[in-house]
Amino acid sequence: MTLLHTTMIILTVSCALMLIGFSARESRWGPVLMLVGIVGVLLLIAYNIFKLLPAY
């Protein structure tokens, strides 16, 4: 699998977690799922930015 495939899989899982968490926002675990999804997307963005930095 290429980096694009891995990135798309992680992004899909994170978005699914946010969707499920939003749908269950009245329960106790809904906001936790949304938080995990948001952190997953932010980590994915940070990793892609880190890969673009020049190596010293």
**pLDDT per residue as tens digits for the range 19-43:** 999 999 999 999 999 999 999 999 9
Whether residue 49 is predicted with pLDDT greater than 80 in this model: the reply is yes
What is residue 22's DSSP assignment?
A: H
Q: What is the pTM of this model?
A: 0.84
pLDDT class of 56 with cuts at 50, 70, 90: low
Which residue in the block uniquely carries the two structure tokens 């980590």?
A: 43
